[in-house]
Chains A and B, each alone.
Chain A
Amino acid sequence: MTGFTLTRQIAARPSIVYDALTTADGVAAWWGPDDQPVTVSEVDARIGGGFRVRFATDDGLEHEAQGEFLELDPPRRVVMSWRWAVNGVADEVGRESRVEVDLRRADYGTELTFSHLELATEASAVSHEGGWAGALNKLQRRLDGVPGESTFNATQ
């Protein structure tokens, strides 16, 4: 895959979810996989405006995500470019990926659809050939039990 999509059903109106995505206070409140503090949260929510979020994870690493807002359609849609650095080391050698969030009003509140796309130029190019994802799945038996190289340990 070159990207993935997550959905959440949220008991809050779209404008509240939108603000959580596009304000520094909002972002600081939920960003990151663990209960570690967000240490920097800068959000300039206008087209071409940037965001920068620095946060720690339970494994002691410090991560920084940054990018620009590409689309803003309150309270329905947010599109951002995305770069990631771990302990100051830029990931993906300058490659940029793309985050898209769509908010749809529902009777319970908001249906959120989150996509992280174009995850790497190289991986993306390869995926058009098809097959490597399948190859990785096939090899899963052998991969199980191999020491992991994960960036952080998000507990399930």
Chain B
Amino acid sequence: MVNYKPDALDRTFAALTDPTRRAILARLEAEESLSISALAEPFAIKLPAVMKHLDVLTEAGLITRTKHGRTVDVRLTPQPLKAAADWLERYERFWSPAMDRLAAYAEAKEAEASRSSGDDDEGGG
């Protein structure tokens, strides 16, 4: 994919600002799939508050909710997190090889300068 979708990234990062939502994601990462009541159980907050967090996570595309009879299963959707991780790494993937190339270029220039100016160049310190 060429274009990072800024809106989608903003939603992902905004969703990750909240510690409860991060904890929910961490549990879903460990558990694969959980019912809403099982998901809400370890949290001190009440179920409606948990539901609000789940709405934010759903809106950000980070989870999916599937109804099974009387229960709703919640699952993690990893793609937006992958996109966020890729976005964060993209600059480093650009600059690291570029800095290697800069170093190689400068070293070639240095060798050139040393050759043309003999031994008494200014490079030694």
Contacts and interface: CB of A to CB of B under 8 A. Distances in A.
Nearest to A86: B2
Interface string A122-142: 110010010111111011111
Contact of A112 (B88, B93, B96, B103): B103
Identify whether the interface residues of A are mostly helix, strand, loop, or mixed.
mixed
Identify whether the interface residues of B are mostly helix, strand, loop, or mixed.
helix
Contact of A141 (B29, B86, B102, B122): B29
B13 A8 contact: no
B120 to A, nearest CB: 13
Nearest to A31: B98
B109 A139 contact: no
Interface residues of B, number: 53
B6 A16 contact: no
Contacts of A120: 9
Interface of B: 1-4, 6, 9-10, 13-14, 16-17, 19, 22, 25-26, 29, 76, 78-79, 81-107, 109-110, 113, 121-123, 125
17 contacts: A4-B91, A6-B96, A8-B103, A12-B103, A30-B102, A30-B105, A32-B98, A32-B101, A91-B4, A112-B103, A116-B92, A136-B85, A136-B88, A139-B29, A139-B76, A142-B81, A143-B81
